[in-house]
Amino acid sequence: MTRTTFDAIVIGGGLVGAAIGYGLQRQGLATLLLDEGDIAHRASRGNFGLIWVQSKGLGAPHYQRWTRGSAGEWPGLAEDLRTRTGIDVRRQQPGGVTFCLGEEEFEARAATMARMQEEAGNFGFEYRMIRAAEARDMLPGIGPAVTGVSWTPYDGHTSPLHLLRGLHAGFMGLGGTYLPNAGVTESNAAARDFTITAAGRRFNAPRVVLAAGLGNAALAPRFGLHAPVVPERGQILVTERAENILPMPTVSLRQTAEGSLMIGDSKEDAGPDTLTQSPDIMRAMARRAVLCFPWVAELNLVRAWSALRVMAPDGLPIYDQSGRFPGAFTANCHSGVTLAGAHANRLAPMVAAGALAPELSLFSARRFDVRTAA
C-alpha cells in the first residue's frame, strides 16, 4: 500500500466501521479502513446475530424508526454483498418472537408492544400478541410454561461472521484499502483536514469516522467529539447441531444455518472482562431455553463465550459530527448487525455529503449535556 491520502478514513474494522466503510467506498470515495485487530474489545465476533426491531425504541420513537428503517435495508444489503462477493450472509427475515413465561410476563409484554405502536404514530408498528395454543403451530415443541409470544414481521437473523467477512470483501472489492493491526497512535485534527498515524504510517483525509466501539471514548475528544460509551457484557451458549426445527428466531434463542442453537440475552456490568463467565447466568439462560423448548435439554452444549456491547448511558446509539472540526464523525451502537443496513445505505451517504441528516440530531451526545437537554 503506497497511498497516504484518502477521501475518508474509518477507524474501526468491526461491523459498524466495516458497514460505513463499505457504504463510503460504494459512494465512490477512496476510503481507508483501519482495524486495530483482535486486541480490540470487538463485539462483532461475539454477536448473537439478530436483525431485531420489536424490542428497540420504547420511549424513543426515533430509535424505533431508525432500527426499522435499517431492517428494511437488509434484503438489499444482503443481496448486494452476495452479488459483489459471492458471500451468503445467511440472512433470514421471517419475523421473530419474544417468549412470555406466565401471565404476568404476557400482560407486561402486551403493554410494552401497545406503547411502542402508540409511540410509532403514523409511522405504524405491526405486531401481534399470540397465545400459546396458536404459537405452537408457529413454533413446534413449545413447552407448557409458555403463556404466549409477541411477534413482529420485521425481525430476522444472520451470521455475524459471514456478514463481517462479506463487508470486508465487498469493501476491498470496490477498491477500498484495509489495514489490519493498525491501532491509532497519533492524530491531528483541523477542519476537513485530518492526519492519522497507524501501523507506523501517516494518512490524510478530509473526512474521518470514529467507529472503534469502546475505543471511541478515548478517541472522540481528539476530534472535538464526545462518546460516553461503556462495556456491557453478554454471554452466549452454543449447542451441538440439531435438526432444523426453528422456523424463526426468538430474542434469546436462534438456530444457525448450520444447525447449532445459540442461547443468549444476558446483561452484566462487568467492566472490560470477556474472559470470565458466570455459571449462575449460564444456568439461568439454559433454564429459560428449556422452559421455552423442553427438547433443548437433550442437546449437548459445545461452546460458550462472552463479549462486550458498546453502550451509551441510555442504551441508544450515538451519532455525531464535530462542530469544532467539520468532517469528523462518530458512530457508536450495540446493534452492529441490526443497524448494518442503515450504516451502509443511509449513514455513509450522509458522511460522504459532509453532514448528518436532521433526523439523527436526537442521537447526538449533546443529549447527555444537562444544559442542552434542559
Q: What does the pLDDT average to over 43-58?
A: 86
Confidence grade of residue 243 (pLDDT, cut at 50, 70, 90): confident
For residues 243 and 220, state if they share a domain: no
Confidence grade of residue 252 (pLDDT, cut at 50, 70, 90): very high
The answer to the question of residue 197 being in a domain is yes
> What confidence score (pLDDT) does residue 37 get?
72
Q: Is the pTM of this model over 0.85?
A: yes
Kindly state the DSSP code that residue 65 receives in the 8-state scheme.
H
* CA 32/CA 118 separation, integer angstroms: 43
pLDDT in tens, 170-221: 999 999 999 999 999 999 999 999 999 999 999 999 999 999 999 999 999 9
For residues 64 and 185, state if they share a domain: yes
> What confidence score (pLDDT) does residue 244 get?
79
The answer to the question of residue 80 being in a domain is no
pLDDT in tens, 140-164: 999 999 999 999 999 999 999 999 9
Determine which helix (DSSP H) or strand (DSSP E) holds 287, and give its type and residue range.
Answer: helix 279-292
Considering only 36-40, 65-69, 97-101, which range has the smallest mean pLDDT? 36-40
CA distances from 328 to 28, 205, 208, 320, 346 (A): 19, 10, 5, 8, 17
Q: What does the pLDDT average to over 45-65?
A: 92
All three cell numbers of 164? 463481517
Q: Which of 259, 287, 311 is the last residue of a domain?
A: 311
> What confidence score (pLDDT) does residue 374 get?
43
Which CATH number characterizes residue 173's domain? 3.50.50.60
> What confidence score (pLDDT) does residue 42 get?
60
> What confidence score (pLDDT) does residue 215 get?
94
- Name residue, grid cell 460504494: 26
Q: Parallel, antiparallel, or unpaired for β 177-179 and 31-34?
A: parallel
Total of domains in the chain: 3
146-152, strands of its sheet edge to edge:
96-101, 146-152, 128-131
Residue 373, pLDDT above cutoff 60: no
Return phi, psi of residue 37, to 5°: 100, -165
For residues 363 and 305, state if they share a domain: no
Q: Which of 119, 152, 185 is the last residue of a domain?
A: 152
Residue 13, pLDDT above cutoff 90: yes
CA distances from 358 to 29, 158, 225, 321 (A): 23, 30, 18, 12
For residues 258 and 271, state if they share a domain: yes
The answer to the question of residue 87 being in a domain is no
The answer to the question of residue 85 being in a domain is no
Alpha helix stretches (DSSP H) within 35-181: 61-85, 103-120, 132-138, 160-173
Residue 104 is part of which domain span? 96-152
For residues 60 and 180, state if they share a domain: yes
Which CATH number characterizes residue 279's domain? 3.30.9.10
Please, is 329 exposed, middle or buried when counting C-beta atoms within 10 Å of its C-beta (0-12, 13-18, 19+)? buried
> What confidence score (pLDDT) does residue 94 get?
96
Q: What does the pLDDT average to over 228-248?
A: 92
Strand partners, 210: 11, 330
The answer to the question of residue 1 being in a domain is no
For residues 142 and 263, state if they share a domain: no
For residues 175 and 282, state if they share a domain: no
> What confidence score (pLDDT) does residue 83 get?
98
Residue 44, pLDDT above cutoff 90: no
For residues 130 and 187, state if they share a domain: no
CB of 148 within 8 A of CB of 130?
Answer: yes
> What confidence score (pLDDT) does residue 186 get?
95
For residues 68 and 165, state if they share a domain: yes
For residues 219 and 291, state if they share a domain: no
Q: Which of 311, 338, 353 is the last residue of a domain?
A: 311
pLDDT in tens, 73-110: 999 999 999 999 999 999 999 999 999 999 999 999 99
The answer to the question of residue 187 being in a domain is yes
The answer to the question of residue 300 being in a domain is yes
For residues 107 and 122, state if they share a domain: yes
The answer to the question of residue 338 being in a domain is yes
> What confidence score (pLDDT) does residue 82 get?
98
Residue 297: count of CB within 10 angstroms of its CB: 12
For residues 239 and 223, state if they share a domain: no
